[in-house]
Structure 1
């Protein structure tokens, strides 16, 4: 026997984007059901980036979700860039924009969203199987099974927040979808360590490859190094990793590095990806379901938040004002920020990484680009505005 559930909006994906949208909709009196293929424990255990734009923090405050964030976050007013062993550029975000970045782990954000979801008593089905959305042109339906029980969720709209490997994007017919992809010939090896972080958010390019030192908490550090695409974590002992950190960071900052055993180690490939349209009938995509950015620009989570912010605003107008205009233009609105983030992430990736087989001409152009950035306050101001986030 199939159990039928009726709601206003079905949200496929119980990560931060889906859970944030459910919270926003609830505050507008719009019912939702969240469906997640992984267990709650798995979702809450994922280690993800945690550098928030100013507008992202504003949204969490606007919707009453920033109490823990404001208590535990770390403000990042400056970004340091090293180039070929030299500490060359300090990008003062606050001086250029009046705003800054906020270091706060995505895991903590997701934990708070789940607590709020449970407190409000909103429905959530995790560990589901065979989720299938359909009926986008008339009466949207999502079917799935959980623990052997079949379910059918009927709603007015479906939102796919189920990531790059979810079912939502592929539910849009192939002859309608258009996809743009750029694969990068390297990955990032990330290590989480229970050691005090460097005081600066530090990006550096070295002839051996890129390195990034970032923060999670006052006692938790996240470091990344560029590695070949075929490398695995088995190739990188903790000793080899910290040796690479010291080699690639300018020597003047070695005293700020506290090495320690890794508590999490993973390699992520880098790619840029956009799928259009972000809407098809009554199906809408948000976050990684529609776009992927290399982490160089720290834009992935921030784009997911702006997507669901736009989508909530549009759904609120549709349900409570009988106004479909913003809903009809959701994809176009969201994609302006998406492509801007793709642009910034590509430029920073190109500038700060070593590309295998790069010709000497391209290398000289890159050196010139960094020199222009180093000596041009207008270019620095433009990058600073992009780093803290374009207006939502």
Structure 2
């Protein structure tokens, strides 16, 4: 079967579905292909906050509806340093539009909107292959030729892998430690990060019934090292207060790193989201970078397709700005606790930086978004 369309979108995550909705509402034909099932995609539990820029983007496109639903409206955020709470207080002039919205909620809402408006979304499309030079995508017995291909299938997807060797430059930074990330069946009415000599810890809401736990650990740690009992004991030790324990649904180790691929296009293929860049979860910016990529691509295609020649350069300016922030906040938050990575001098410098930041109302808003939305 041979088909044609304006844009073939690979991946039904935040970037792919946002782009699909923007194009569909502006009369540009597109097909979204996703190798996983709908149930799997809508159950992935990740980032939780859409920053002010992302919220304004959805409003401008008439898609604010996708930010509603199974969200946590009121979340108290705080930072604990050596068991002493430094609550985050917002002043009366705070006009932050950021919204706490877990990824699975946003993806479900984007899916519903796309299908309701007549979008072509195909799940379980195994065996996808790309010809980026000619805009051809194949899976099963189907061949789709598009004017453009939008690669929104993540860091390990087929889109970036289809670009020939020698085209992309990979820039990366390894932080030297990992996070144990665990999803627990426990409602979290407060959201916070704990800075402790044993390492950083986090407890972040993921919808009304679940919470995400983060524990800094060495790169050579294994999931088997972390029994459920040890996870809860370590979390309580780093926060310095009793916590309500519950069933842990999943665990994984996440080595912290920053990655950028340049350029973000080749032939008719354009990379969006994690296919082009990774930020450490501490920055809570991964989902927002994906939204910006979709916004830039859609605006260019709708208003003047020749602007796609500048797509990579336009996005990369924004990406490197966010990467600079990600490196800063990740280093400060980790160095302020465990001195075994960078030493006692860097620990004291990081703590002085945190003390200076907490005297700033703008910093309070920043840390409020971080403690609610770590990826």
TM-score between the two structures when normalised by the length of structure 1: 0.85
> 1:303 offset after TM fit, Å?
0.9
1:23 corresponds in structure 2 to 21
2:346 corresponds to 1:365: no
| Cα distance in 1 for residues equivalent to 2:132 and 2:295 | 25
| Cα distance in 1 for residues equivalent to 2:139 and 2:306 | 29
| Cα distance in 2 for residues equivalent to 1:81 and 1:196 | 19
> 1:267 offset after TM fit, Å?
2.5
Task: Say whether the 8 Å CA contact 2:70–2:105 is kept in structure 1.
Answer: no
2:360 corresponds in structure 1 to 377
Cα distance change of structure 1 residues 61 and 258 upon mapping to structure 2, 3 Å threshold: farther
Q: Which moved more, 1:230-239 or 1:285-294?
A: 230-239
Tell me the number of residue pairs that the alignment of Structure 1 and Structure 2 aligns. 368
| Cα distance in 1 for residues equivalent to 2:66 and 2:97 | 18
| Cα distance in 2 for residues equivalent to 1:209 and 1:154 | 50
Cα distance change of structure 1 residues 171 and 314 upon mapping to structure 2, 3 Å threshold: same
Point out where structure 2 has 5 or more consecutive residues left out of the alignment: none
1:285 corresponds in structure 2 to 271
> 1:70 offset after TM fit, Å?
2.9
| Cα distance in 2 for residues equivalent to 1:383 and 1:90 | 10
- Pairwise CA RMSD of aligned residues? 2.6
- The 5 A counterparts of 1:190-201 are 190-199=181-190, 201=191
| Cα distance in 1 for residues equivalent to 2:351 and 2:364 | 19
2:142 corresponds to 1:151: yes
| Cα distance in 1 for residues equivalent to 2:177 and 2:169 | 25
Of 125, 128, 134, the match for 1:128: 125
Q: Which moved more, 1:293-302 or 1:347-356?
A: 347-356
> 1:282 offset after TM fit, Å?
2.2
> 1:61 offset after TM fit, Å?
4.0
Cα distance change of structure 1 residues 159 and 183 upon mapping to structure 2, 3 Å threshold: same
1:119 corresponds in structure 2 to 116
Q: Secondary structure at the match of 1:217?
A: coil
Task: Say whether the 8 Å CA contact 2:55–2:98 is kept in structure 1.
Answer: no
> 1:180 offset after TM fit, Å?
0.8
> 1:381 offset after TM fit, Å?
6.7
Cα distance change of structure 1 residues 187 and 166 upon mapping to structure 2, 3 Å threshold: same
Q: Which moved more, 1:207-216 or 1:119-128?
A: 119-128
TM-score between the two structures when normalised by the length of structure 2: 0.88
1:329 corresponds in structure 2 to 310
| Cα distance in 2 for residues equivalent to 1:386 and 1:300 | 13
Q: Secondary structure at the match of 1:116?
A: helix
1:232 corresponds in structure 2 to 222
Q: Secondary structure at the match of 1:329?
A: helix
2:302 corresponds to 1:316: yes
Q: Secondary structure at the match of 1:129?
A: coil
> 1:62 offset after TM fit, Å?
4.2
Deviations 1:63-87 (A, max 9, x none): 4544463344334687422223322
| Cα distance in 2 for residues equivalent to 1:234 and 1:382 | 37
Task: Say whether the 8 Å CA contact 2:264–2:271 is kept in structure 1.
Answer: yes
Deviations 1:74-115 (A, max 9, x none): 3468742222332236263x6575205322211111122222
